[in-house]
Amino acid sequence: MDYSIVIKKIIGVFILSLMYISLFGQHQIKGIVLDDNDEPLIGATVNLHLTDISTLTDIEGKFILNVASLPVVLSISYGGPESRLFNITESKKEITFRLFENIQISTIISEAVITDYRLRHSASYSSLSPTEITSQNRVSIIPTMNTAPGIHIHSGALNTNRITIRGIGNRSPFSTAKIRAYLNDIPLTSGVGETTLEDIDMDMLEKIKIVKGPNVSNYGSGLGGSIILDTKQEEKSYASSHFEMGSYQYYRSSNQLHLLSEKSKTLAHYSRSASDGYRENNEYLRNNFSIINQFDYEENKELHFLLNYIQLKSFIPSSLNEEDYLNDPTSAAFTWNKVKGFEDYDKLQLGISHHLGWKDWINKTSIFGTFYQSYESRPFNILQENSRTLGGRTTFNYNFETFKSASFLTLGFEYFNERYDWATFKTLDGILGEHLSDNLEHRQYINCFAEVDWEFIPDFTIETGINFNATRYELFDYFFLDSLDVSGQYKFKPIISPRLGINYFWNEKNISFFTNISHGYNPPSLEETLNPDGTKNPDIQPEKGWNYEIGSRGNILDKNLSYIVSLYYLDVKDLLVAKRISEDQFQSTNAGSTAHLGLEFELKYNFIIQKNNLIRPFLNYHYTHHTFKTFIDGEDDFSGNELTGSPPHKINAGLFFQTKFQLYGNAMYQYVDAMPMRDDNSIYSDAYQVSDFKIGYNPTFRNKWNLDFYFGIRNIFNEKYASQILINAGSFGGNAPRYYYPGLPRNYFGGIGLKYIW
């Protein structure tokens, strides 16, 4: 099937539908958020309670939020996870919200009724704001996510990244695995657990939330955790255009149109990113087109639409051996350069979601689909892929009161079905040759989940959850020129993953203490269930493990300093290990177990110097002691060794600043410790330090026109480092193993943007 024709037709239908929907409108809530001294709070989060609709206060502490009807409940937070609920019963010209007064339950402040509420979480997570998302660059969210504690991302190129959370996922050779991701509740993870986030455009995102470990039952209980991406929910109509350029012939253009009416808001977004790359065979070109719409067609009834189209062509320089990495880092691997290896794909993600509220219940039901078509030229063969994903998801949230505080019940179900066609061909120096294989895979899973957050006594909350997963694969082998038929079915026993957390909120000090125990799993991919000769491996089982965590979070020093500290231990059994037996063949087995012990902390401080001058320094650190408890590979016993690909120490520090003169910027520092590159711990990478800087000017004229002009430097001190390592790299044909992807030397970027608001 030619997916390009299907994609064009679907885009056309969506555009016409959304143009019609945008003619309708909704109600507005206008407000200003102040502190104890009646100073405006810049960047406070205003959220429509129990929904994904949110906005941030501007430099004057003001915000506008559209709602379908009144009354509604707003949740407002600043500088930390705790928040308060405000019950809005009628429209006013502007409502004043004082966030940090010592407010008693049901005390009337201005036009708002305040209810004391704490946003409780009995687990560690990181949340990135719009300012943090675009702090380093606008072409990829990967560098920004790499600044969160507990996370390390191996980044070999713009299209080659491996995200690891607390050591989970670092055994995947070239991609992100064992970590689930969602965009507006649409799964970005394939049926075999692989996730691609580097092609998501940053300008369409409002927030990134990273949950570490199997601590969210409603997102699959993956051992590594979950990454939740939320798209923009802005409350003004505007048109904007943005252009950025930098070293290595990099450029990026981005254009947006946001239309707001009484019952609807629609964002249309298009961007184009390109670079010649630092290395040989490193050219990159990506086009993104998105439409996001919310339509409130009746009271407490909403329709949400998402269309996200990605077209990418990226050449692949691959990894280098030590000699080339040290002496010729701009070169590409010889075999990849010889065939000019590349990947070229089109991806269309679609989602339709219906939100319904009645009394104390909220239901969100989504139908989603992903269509993917790819051609990849490699030294050893050419791979063609076609994937079609269809599925649905529904959640029911019930809000009830215990001890005059909010408690919640969540019930839900998710179904995922992927049809994956793939074939390989001989390569004649990059030219398509004869067939080598022809396969069709059906990948299916269901998740059923339930969560209860219950305040059983004042200031103590119990969070319980359970996830039920059933996964099955079916393979059809349509290549008949050999005598081997690998067709067959493979399904795993259903997995039940419970979770229990306790959170204590110390109301007088605005501090909470939490602890949790949770179970998680990672099913093997279909390819991991097969031996290299294509026969089925009946002994392969999912990875399973228990996560134990204790920590604290809060706001201290007049609530200007927010902190999160967490100590965790993750015990993983039936570890899936891929052993490379040739350049393009791996053999998987459940080789043993691993122990993941770690400490994480994060600090953020708000200096408000006079009015509208803000400096926000931050510091986070994580220590990891990840080891093989038992790991026997043939005659080799690696038990007790350090886990490959995990740096024992990692530090991120820096500051964001913003002045009343519309100057803004940031300075960033990262330290990554040496880490083992082989299971026998015979070779380690070098530790490295990287520093970045950015400064900009962002004035507004006549309350309509906004100009954004900035300049930045990455890797200021020109550090030589490996931004990605290939663990257990093989050596074939007498060649040295290729462990290293060189990081970028000192490089520069700058941009200018213009936005008109009406």
Q: Cα(12)–Cα(5) distance, rounded to whole angstroms?
A: 11
By the 8 A CB rule, do 320 and 306 touch?
no
For the chain, what is the mean pLDDT? 84
Residue 543 to residue 572: CA distance in whole angstroms: 7
Query: Nearest-CA neighbor of 67 among 258, 230, 262?
Result: 262
Q: Are residues 138 and 63 in the same domain?
A: no
For residues 92 and 154, membership in a common domain is answered with no
Residues 75, 147 within the same domain: no
Q: 111 and 48 share a domain?
A: yes
Looking at mean pLDDT, say which of 131-135, 210-214, 455-459 comes out highest.
210-214
- 49 compared with 407, residue with greater pLDDT: 407
Q: Is there a contact between 247 and 113 (Cβ–Cβ < 8 Å)?
A: no
Tell me: do 100 and 9 sit in the same domain. yes
> Looking at the structure, do residues 106 and 130 belong to the same domain, yes or no?
no
Residue 136 counted as domain residue = yes
134 in the same domain as 47: no
Strand intervals (E) in 429-542: 431-457, 460-477, 488-491, 495-506, 511-522
Per-residue tokens: 357: 């509220």
619 CB-contact burial (10 Å; exposed 0-12 / middle 13-18 / buried 19+): middle
Residues 160 and 224 in one domain: yes
Q: Does residue 561 fall inside a structural domain?
A: no
Number of domains the chain contains: 2
> What CATH number is attached to the domain comprising 150?
2.170.130.10
43 in a structural domain? yes
**3-state SS string over 162-185?**
EEEECCECCCCCCCEECCEEEECC
Domain stop point among 195, 229, 263: 229
**Structural domain contains residue 600:** no
Domain end marker among 115, 143, 178: 115
* CATH code, domain with 107: 2.60.40.1120
Cis omega before residue 329 (within 30°)?
no
Whole-number pLDDT of residue 288: 97
Cβ atoms within 10 Å, residue 537: 15
Q: What pLDDT score was predicted for residue 5?
A: 55
In the chain, the percentage of residues whose pLDDT exceeds 90 is: 46
Q: Kindly state whether residue 109 falls inside one of the protein's structural domains.
A: yes
3-state secondary structure of 7: helix
Q: What is the pLDDT of residue 609?
A: 76
Q: Please tell me whether residues 111 and 160 are part of one structural domain.
A: no
Q: In this model, does residue 563 exceed pLDDT 70? A: yes
**Could you tell me if residue 293 is inside a domain?**
no
Q: Please name every residue paired with 209 in a beta bridge, in sequence order, or none if there are none.
A: 127, 228
Q: What percent of the chain has pLDDT over 70?
A: 86
pLDDT tens figures, 289-332:
999 999 988 888 889 999 999 999 999 999 999 999 999 999 99
pLDDT at 405: 62
**Is residue 199's pLDDT more than 70?**
yes
- Per-residue b or e along 389-402, where b marks 16 or more CB atoms closer than 10 Å to that residue's CB: bebebbbbbebeee
Least confident span in 83-97, 110-124, 145-159, 722-736: 110-124
Q: In terms of domains, do 96 and 161 share one?
A: no
Identify residue 152 by its one-letter amino acid code.
H
pLDDT recorded at residue 588: 67
555 found inside a domain = no
Q: Are 144 and 128 in contact (CB under 8 A)?
A: yes
Average of per-residue pLDDT across 618-643: 90
User: Over 50: is that where the pLDDT of 695 sits?
Assistant: yes
Between residues 204 and 455, the one the model is more confident about: 204
Listed residues 229, 247, 276: the one ending a domain: 229
Phi-psi region of 61 (alpha: psi -120 to 50; beta: other; left: phi over 0): left
More confident residue, 660 or 318: 318
Asked if residue 307 belongs to a domain, the reply is: no
90 and 149 together in one domain: no
- Whether residues 80 and 137 fall in one domain: no
Per the structure, the complete domain to which residue 171 belongs is given by: 125-229
φ/ψ of 239, rounded to 5, equals -130, 135
